[in-house]
Amino acid sequence: MTSLESEISTNFTQQQKPGVTVWFTGLSGAGKTTITRALEQELHSRGCKVEILDGDIVRENLTKGLGFSREDRDENIRRIGFVSQLLTRNHVIVLVSAISPYTVIRDEVRQRIGNFIEVYVNAPLNVCEKRDVKGLYKRARAGEIKNFTGIDDPYEPPTNPEVECRTDLETLEESVSKVITTLEELGYLRKSGSD
Ligand code: ADP
């Protein structure tokens, strides 16, 4: 088989798979964006159709104008969930990266989408705060940002996620591999190397 035939074959077979939303939840700085970007590369290399919906980017367009009250946070998640649902039913693997601190709304989008994998990106608050990737924890501690998750706003951890990534204890590669294995086991992704 030529490489072009091989690529066409991979794409054809992968597209027979159902779509799925892989929903990454966790504190700011826990590693959601880092993992979804690495995962996207791996999935592209396997010929998958992938879209990332990243909370920070979504808040600049789809949910622009929403704040951080409980109501606005829920509306943010509901809109992301709606787009994810459309993409999922069109055989896309959707990677959502959003703090999504509240259990009830996460469960609501899970029910609505159906093909749904929850990934708890778990690093202790003190680790996230030490990383302080965007300098937001410092500003929240200084009182410059209000309602900051983990500081003066709650985070409700998932009770039964399909995957948990302890980014303070495992490597990025290990986290990506856990998600890939779960996608394979649940039938959303062809096992690497299988026909
Ligand atoms: P979030 O999207 O959850 O706010 P980011 O992905 O933006 O978090 O930031 C996480 C930070 O933690 C990055 O600087 C990343 O390099 C670092 N990090 C250290 N170890 C890991 C790991 N095992 N997995 C993911 N990120 C890690």
pLDDT at 17: 85
To the nearest whole number, what is the mean pLDDT of the chain? Answer: 93
User: What's CA 131's distance to the chain center, in Å?
Assistant: 19
146 compared with 9, residue with greater pLDDT: 146
14-18, 49-53, 140-144, 164-168, range with the lowest pLDDT: 14-18
Query: How far from 75 is each of 78, 104, 123, CA to CA, in Å?
Result: 5, 12, 26
Q: Does residue 100 line the site of ligand 1, with CB under 6 A?
A: no
Q: Does residue 98 line the site of ligand 1, with CB under 6 A?
A: no
Packing angle of the helix pair 103-113, 70-88 (nearest 10 deg) = 20
Active-site option among 28, 84, 97, 100: 100
pLDDT band at 192 (very low <50, low <70, confident <90, very high): confident
- Give, rounded to a whole angstrom, the gap between the first and last alpha carbons of the chain: 13
pLDDT at 97: 98
Distance, CA 33 to ligand 1 centroid (Å)?
7
Rounded to an integer, the average pLDDT of 86-106 is 98
For residue 99, give every residue at least 6 positions away whose Cβ sits within 8 Å of its Cβ, in sequence order, or none: 25, 26, 27, 28, 32, 55, 149, 155
Q: Quick check: 195 pLDDT over 80?
A: no
Percentage with pLDDT > 90 across the chain: 89
Spatial separation of the C-alpha atoms in residues 137 and 150, rounded to whole Å: 9
Instruction: Clarify whether 192 is annotated catalytic.
Output: no
Q: Does residue 166 line the site of ligand 1, with CB under 6 A?
A: no
CB 63 within 8 A of CB 69: no
CA-based nearest residue to 101, from 79, 74, 66 = 74
pLDDT digits (tens, 9 = 90+) for 164-188: 999 999 999 999 999 999 999 999 9
At 128, list the tokens: 């996230």
Q: Quick check: 160 pLDDT over 60?
A: yes
Report which ligand 1 atom has the smallest distance to the Cα of 34.
6
CB 165 within 8 A of CB 156: no
Q: Quick check: 157 pLDDT over 90?
A: yes
CB 88 within 8 A of CB 115: yes
pLDDT digits (tens, 9 = 90+) for 6-35: 555 555 555 568 999 999 999 999 999 999
Q: Quick check: 194 pLDDT over 90?
A: no
pLDDT at 9: 53
Residue with tokens 């946070």: 73
Q: Does residue 31 line the site of ligand 1, with CB under 6 A?
A: yes
Q: Does residue 99 line the site of ligand 1, with CB under 6 A?
A: no
Spatial separation of the C-alpha atoms in residues 102 and 156, rounded to whole Å: 6
Instruction: Calculate the dihedral angle through the C-alpha atoms of 82, 84, 85, 87, rounding to the nearest 10 degrees.
Output: 130
Q: Which domains does the chain possess?
A: 16-123+155-185 (3.40.50.300)
For residue 121, give every residue at least 6 positions away whose Cβ sits within 8 Å of its Cβ, in sequence order, or none: 24, 25, 26, 30, 31, 32, 35, 165, 167, 175
Report which ligand 1 atom has the smallest distance to the Cα of 27.
3
Spatial separation of the C-alpha atoms in residues 143 and 18, rounded to whole Å: 45
Rounded to an integer, the average pLDDT of 131-151 is 97
